[in-house]
Structure 1
Amino acid sequence: MKKRTLALVALTAAMTLGMSLTSFAAEEPTWIVPKGLSAGEYDSMYGTTQWWQAEAVADCRAWAEANKGDIVDIQDEMARYTAIVNKVCGFLTYDINYKNPHIAYTIRDGKGVCGDYTALTLALCEKCNIKAVLSTGALNGVEHDMLKVTINGVEYYSDPTNYDTGAVGVLGMTPGYVEFSCGGGLTLANGSTGADTSSNCLTVLSMEASKSGMVPIINKNGTYYITKSDGDLFDKYADVGDVSGMYSILDKYNIPHY
């Protein structure tokens, strides 16, 4: 995708907006936290001076409140925590495309990555009186996070993301995980759940377009949409420097290149 965008930058420095295609608008979620408050106001309410992080905390807490159900009434702590993790895993499907967009998109679409699993689990733990903190590290060399939870006075690691795949149980450290730090709650966890809140984010546009089998092409004049097969062909032309081939794709969709 970056390759396609960069190729277009080279081709379309002087492009003017022509006939556009049907737009698959990436609607922004409904934000909870007001924008434009002072850093001190955000910090006093959410423990961060950044609006996007405060919004993420609020989103997680709102989701947890709406989904806690009768979990909070389960007396046995192990059963309560298991119900929490099952609730999160029943809601989320792992999708790497949701790494960069804000967690509000994850909550809207029910798709996310490890940071989203962790944050939503922490939020439900808050609501359901289970002590839990964030553990950050790497799994087989790739950044990853999970939780350290206290059940009946004993600390355990817990990896909801890999529990969802069936690779591990609800408790225990995933093989290959190396912890870098441990501690902190929902605010810290939402430092890694995606800062991009823009509906114009390339990742978000790509996710929305893919639902209809399309991919976005972006230039300074706007966003155009072509089929995925033509997008792949455009990339092949770009790989070998075939400008006429790239132009043929643009011409097919009436995308100006002059």
Structure 2
Amino acid sequence: MSIPSISDVRKHLIAEPGKPFDLSSRDSGDRSLFEDKSLAKTSLKKDAAVINELKDILYAEKKRSILVVLQGMDTAGKSGTIKSVFADTTPLGMEVKAFKAPSSNELARDYLWRIHNAVPKKGHVGIFDRSHYEDVLVVKVRGFASPEDIEKRYEQINAFEEHLSENGVTIVKCMLNIGYEEQGIRLRERLEEQHKYWKFNPADLDDRALWKDYMSAYEIAVQRCSTKHSPWYVIPSDSRTRRSAMIARLVRGALEEMDLSWPKSDYRLEDFDFS
């Protein structure tokens, strides 16, 4: 049994741009890419090391950036993914942004303002814990914007992501697909395990009660916003280790495709006296 290729992982997880997408057909417990958990751990460890190496070259080059978007229901593992996939990555050149409810200052501006403001600088790896998709997910389900405004946002988001991709930002979008039963288990863990107490929020149960509405909103968002320049990858997330291993494969693949190289120096050793 061998580690699945990056190409195979992409093909298995991608929501094909321009094609119908049925979220219910994606098994949140799918283990076909990594049947053996130990293999997933090995793959994750190897990819985490390579991601760190490539991140350093990206930082030195300072010409492009990469943005990893992690979107999913509560307990899907967004923070856990960051911790695992970037376990070996030094902080230099890393930017992590967790999007919460917008502030009064953010609400006074267009909904993409705070997102664009958080896009990683050239040479940096940016990670979004939740993202601009909150504005077609929770905003849609909770009725915080009109159906007419929501409808406009899909194309606005596509145009925004195309703008980024045309200006040196490689985007890797991952929907962390957790099952209803598994989410229930993890929510209970937040009141059973002391180191997770701080994570529990009764409001999470309000969202859980709207599970079907959220799944419908996710399905539409993935369908409408999986594009050639920025496709969605739907990650089976009932297994934490396998989830992180799959995302690490995607991130490594995106960095490798950037064909990064160490910048050349304009200085010559013989021009300086080091005595």
Class of the TM-score when normalised by the shorter of the 2 chains: under 0.3
Structure with the greater alpha carbon radius of gyration: 1
What TM-score, normalized by structure 2, do the two folds share? 0.27
Greater RCO (Cα-Cα under 8 Å, separation 6 or more)? 2
Q: Would you tell me which structure has more helix in proportion to its own residues?
A: 2
Q: Would you tell me which structure has more strand in proportion to its own residues?
A: 1
